[in-house]
Amino acid sequence: MKNTLVLENINISLVSIRSHLLRTILTILIISFGIMALVGILTATDSIKYYLTQNFSMMGSNTLTIRNRSMNIHMGGNNQKEKRYEPITYNQAQEFKNRFDFPAYTSTSVFTRATGVATLKYETKKTNPNVGVIGADENYLITSGDEVEFGRNFTPNEIYYGFSSAILGASLITDLFKNKEDPLGKIISIGPGKFKIIGVLKSKGSSMGFSGDRTCFIPVTNVRTNFPRPNMSFNINVMAKRPELVDAATGEATATLRNIRKVPVGMDDTFEITKSDNIAKMLIENIKYVTMAATIIGFITLLGAAIGLMNIMLVSVTERTREIGIRKAIGATKRVIRNQFLVESIVIGQLGGLLGIVLGILVGNVISLLIGSAFIVPWIWIVTGVVLCFAVALISGIIPARKAANLDPIESLRYE
């Protein structure tokens, strides 16, 4: 019996919606815009979070980097001055690599940035002068998350003797070998030196305006010869076996390098250790303000939608006063009348919510597509949108429903 009444109420609601189609559509659109604002912006922020996590954690969440300076990141008014310390010399970096003996680490690599404005040449072809050259050792590709697509990695002998070998990013191969020649074994010019290509990296694409595919790697010992500069500092990557071991590895690395650099007890570290996903976490932390703003905007729009829905239901009660009187005259109770209008309000609310959720997912994923992130289906926000629409419809419909239920049947029948 109860199921029959519910179905009957839903059917009556749909009939009423069809008879006042334009007004109902406008109300549904108001509700859908509120849900779209909420779901759309929150879907976009989820896409941005995913994008940042993927691109700033390319080295893996189990990698840490040791430098002689802190990260210099400006976000809003939260600007921290970059700290600089004495350069980490090549001998110090190598000694760290030899002495670091954490039981759960995979590999340690020593590297340095030679230049960011190099031009690579092959015969008559050359790249733009914006190629990053990194001096790396045989372990760098492991700790950085790069993979060789074809060719090979550096050997320990090439690093030790400073061979003129090079590993190129995918975009550089496209620039230099437009006729699809096999690049392996070819001699190219990098800055003042000649190098033989021994490997090509898998493409990673662009992220945050930077393309890792336009980076060239040469032996770290060769950088000291071909790209010398005063006070050159070397960096160290350490990869632990599992992410949960990174903190312990950080403590061990700190103690080892402090000992090597002879930092007195009680004095601050003269180097900076950064986890590979720290930047992503810092940026994601700032996105929470966008999320808060989106939530406030969504709730304000939903408040407007609630007022609009309540208004349309009150108008509906007034227009259908005679119909209510007829229903009461043939035996409908207050509860039946009240539920009829509540169901109508909920049906309109859920239709608006469904449309808003679909539009919100589409709008959010347009942003995801533009930044190159993955397609996101925000299940939590979908459920939240459904619940919010139900709550808005219930709150908006209760006053009109009670008004309809309390109408005097005699007066209602005489209403024109």
Residue-wise pLDDT for 107-133, tens only, equals 788 999 999 889 999 988 989 888 999
Contact (CB, 8 A) for 43 and 365: yes
- In this structure, the dihedral spanned by the alpha carbons of residues 337, 342, 345 and 351, taken in order and rounded to 10 degrees, is -120
Last residue in a domain, options 276, 307, 329:
276
One domain, residues 265 and 313: no
Tally of structural domains, the chain: 2
Per DSSP bridges, beta strands 125-126 and 78-79 are unpaired
pLDDT of residue 257: 92
One domain, residues 71 and 92: yes
One domain, residues 402 and 365: yes
One domain, residues 272 and 287: no
One domain, residues 229 and 100: yes
One domain, residues 237 and 147: yes
Single-letter residue type at 118: A
Last residue in a domain, options 250, 276, 302:
276
pLDDT of residue 195: 95
One domain, residues 324 and 184: no
- In this structure, the dihedral spanned by the alpha carbons of residues 205, 211, 212 and 215, taken in order and rounded to 10 degrees, is 130
3-state secondary structure of 268: coil
CA dist 131 and 13 (Å) reads: 66
One domain, residues 81 and 46: no
pLDDT of residue 209: 46
Low-confidence ranges of the chain (pLDDT < 50): 75, 208-209
Single-letter residue type at 64: L
**Which DSSP helix (H) or strand (E) runs through 284?**
helix 278-319
CA distances from 410 to 88, 308, 335, 407, 415 (A): 93, 30, 18, 9, 9
Last residue in a domain, options 276, 303, 327:
276
One domain, residues 113 and 203: yes
CA distances from 365 to 43, 157, 242, 292, 385 (A): 7, 49, 32, 19, 17
Task: Print the domain residue range for 399.
Answer: 2-55+283-414
CA dist 381 and 366 (Å) reads: 17
pLDDT of residue 80: 57
One domain, residues 399 and 316: yes
One domain, residues 28 and 124: no
Question: What tokens were used for 293?
Answer: 């703003």
One domain, residues 327 and 254: no
User: Is pTM, for the whole model, over 0.85?
Assistant: no
pLDDT of residue 104: 61
